[in-house]
Amino acid sequence: MQSDPDRIAVGVVGVGGMGTVHAENLHALNPGVQVVAVMDADPARAEEVAARCGSVSVFGDAHEMIADDKVEAVVIASPDYTHAELTLECLRRKKPVLCEKPLATTAEDALKVVEAEVGVGRKLVKVGFMRRYDPQHLGVRDAVTRGDVGRPVLLKGWHRNPETLPGATSEFVVFSSAIHDLDSARWLLEQEIEEVYAHGVNTEPALGKNTCDLQLIQLVLSGGCLATIEVYVTAGYGYEVGAEVVGERGTAHTVPAGGVVVRRDRALSRPIEGNWRARFQTAYVNEIEQWTKALINGRAEGPDAWDGLMSVLAAEACVASLRSGLPQRLQAPERPVLYRQGLSEVAG
């Protein structure tokens, strides 16, 4: 429960790259939002971020921070393998939670989160699919839902990172990167993924020949739409994400983000972002602002635990397809009523 109906006190678990972005974006929303606690396995990092957010308690244990009475809502930005367990802890304590993607590293664990939230009886979980708050992607979705392009028949997506983590595996590329594109396909088209066919190659010897740092993922969706998504995490030149929806009457696509175009010496150039925090800076602010505003207004909006489960199911199918070389059909569970509503009430 909120101590002040017009203010929400938030704790952040994990203040690495993304956790720090969220903590700073939350702190900028003062006084309606207050960062009251941060947790990180690295005490020095936790203290450093806490100092930037004012009078903030520092924890070394995530469960202790989630349990603290000062903490009314939680952001989880810790390593992926902790997401499901910590989200379940928030549900046990009936605390709203924004969990960075992926919701879980297995569909089994994501389903446990869905089942736990159904048991609570109201939506408390939101998943960090920030592209849903990117003006570019919102513009494409609006054009599609307005019918500007006619019936959608094909989605083309591209997701390029300049580099990836040392030791990255094909599975990491799917669960850390491609999972955004899998959610984008569902969200932009308002259709479910029925079949996945993933191919991959290694272009970066340092990652080892078994790591597919370039993946081409083909989807068949429930409304008859097809999708083809390029995920290239060692593209080198910069960070670029985009999407084009092709319809029977036209297309809608994102335009390259980045700075101004300079024309000179019979050439033109435009800077390209180097990472996702720069490219999606506005989206991250919008995401956290809308999450906290919805909490204060007692509503639940945006990507929920069901979206989290469906993206993990599709990610597992991608991994299975990469391994087998065969298309994979998705076997989704029955969608609970909680996730069939529009905007549902969050914990009162």
Three-state secondary structure call for residue 143: helix
Closer by beta carbon to ligand ISE, 21 or else 38 = 21
Quote the least distance from Cβ 92 to ligand ISE, whole Å: 27
Site size toward ligand ISE, by CB under 6 A: 6
What are the CA-CA distances from residue 127 to residues 25, 113, 146, 291, 309 (Å)?
17, 12, 26, 10, 10
Q: Which residues contact 239 (CB under 8 A, 6 or more apart)?
A: 160, 161, 162, 272, 273, 274, 275, 276, 278, 279
Residue 327: exposure state from Cβ atoms within 10 A (0-12, 13-18, ≥19) = middle
Crossing angle of helices 107-120 and 305-324, in 10° steps, is 170
Q: How far is the CB of 276 from ligand ISE (least distance, A)?
A: 4
Angle at 203 between CA 200 and CA 207, to 5 degrees: 95
In the complex with ligand ISE, the residue whose CB is nearer, 238 or 327, is 238
82/177 with CB nearer ligand ISE: 177
Among 25, 78, 82, 161, binds ligand ISE (CB under 6 A): 161
CB closer to ligand ISE, 219 vs 233: 233
Quote the least distance from Cβ 101 to ligand ISE, whole Å: 6
| Min separation Cβ 161 and ligand ISE, Å | 5
CB of 242 to ligand ISE, least distance (A): 12
Could you tell me whether strands 152-160 and 226-232 are parallel, antiparallel, or unpaired per DSSP bridges? parallel
Site for ligand ISE in 89-118 (CB under 6 A): none
CA–CA dist 42, 57 (Å, integer): 14
Of 34 and 164, which has the nearer Cβ to ligand ISE?
A: 164
Name the residue with tokens 């930005």. 77
Point out the residue whose Cβ comes nearest to ligand ISE: 177
Asked if residues 73 and 102 have their Cβ atoms less than 8 Å apart, the reply is no
Of 276, 284, 291, 306, which one interacts with ligand ISE (CB under 6 A)?
A: 276
Nearer residue to ligand ISE within complex by CB, 176 or 286: 176
Give the nearest distance from C-beta 268 to ligand ISE in angstroms. 26
Taking the complex as a whole, the smallest distance from the CB of residue 21 to ligand ISE amounts, in Å, to 11
Q: Interaction with ligand ISE in 172-191: which residues (CB under 6 A)?
A: 176-177, 180
Q: Are 125 and 117 in contact, with CB atoms under 8 Å apart?
A: yes
d(CA 200, CA 197): 10
> Whose Cβ is closer to ligand ISE: residue 51's or residue 206's?
206
For 191, residues 6+ apart whose C-beta sits below 8 A from its C-beta are: 185, 221, 222, 223, 225
* Residue 234 in contact with ligand ISE, rule: CB under 6 A: no
Which parts of this chain interact with ligand ISE (CB under 6 A)?
161, 176-177, 180, 233, 276
